């Protein structure tokens, strides 16, 4: 069993996929599998996912018909997951390199906790910070990534 199953649902996010996938590969916590799901993209995303999966020995599932729901993709990914924890890593986002290290540490220290979360930032396509995604402290007693 791996530590974390990283599920990347994608639909027409070719322009963001490189940054997202780099932010997963750059994690300081290394015990993870990557599950790429493409929901019948028409922008070349599926080809990017397929190439990445070949290079990095990841699972890649391509839908021939769009499911119409990101949540269906989440469920598909969870069904394929073998990790102790699951990270739904949306294809148009990216993460701090310590994200998995901090979140898995939080969950490991709090075994009764079923969900860990942290502060997120909204950024534009040039990565300029627009605003925080929400203003809660990191869940289950962890410290924010900035510390």
| Domains in the chain with CATH codes | 4-95 (3.90.550.10), 111-147 (no CATH)
Q: Which residues pair with 121 in a beta bridge?
A: 132
Is pLDDT above 70 for 84?
yes
- pLDDT of 91-138, one tens digit each? 999 999 999 999 999 999 999 998 888 878 888 878 888 876 665 444
pTM of the predicted structure, to 2 decimals? 0.88
Predicted pLDDT of residue 139: 52
Cα gap 57→128, rounded to integer Å? 32
Q: Which residues pair with 10 in a beta bridge?
A: 38
Is pLDDT above 60 for 9?
yes
Banded pLDDT at 89 (limits 50, 70, 90): very high
Residue-averaged pLDDT of the chain: 90
In degrees, to the nearest 5, what angle opens at C-alpha 128 toward C-alphas 123 and 131?
50
CB 17 within 8 A of CB 10: yes
């Amino acid at each position: 069993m791996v530590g974390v199953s990283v599920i990347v649902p994608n639909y027409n996010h070719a322009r963001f996929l490189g940054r997202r996938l780099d932010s997963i590969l750059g994690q300081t916590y290394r015990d993870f599998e990557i599950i790429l799901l493409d929901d019948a993209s028409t922008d070349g995303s599926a080809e990017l996912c397929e190439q990445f999966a070949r290079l990095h020995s990841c699972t890649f599932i391509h839908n021939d018909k769009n499911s119409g729901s990101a949540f269906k993709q989440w469920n598909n990914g969870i069904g394929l997951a073998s990790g102790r924890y699951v990270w739904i890593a949306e294809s148009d986002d990216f993460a701090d390199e310590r994200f998995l290290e901090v979140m898995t540490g939080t969950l490991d220290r709090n075994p009764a906790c079923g969900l860990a979360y942290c502060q997120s930032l909204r950024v534009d396509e040039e990565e300029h910070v627009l605003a925080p995604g929400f203003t809660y402290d990191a869940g289950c007693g962890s410290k924010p990534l900035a510390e």
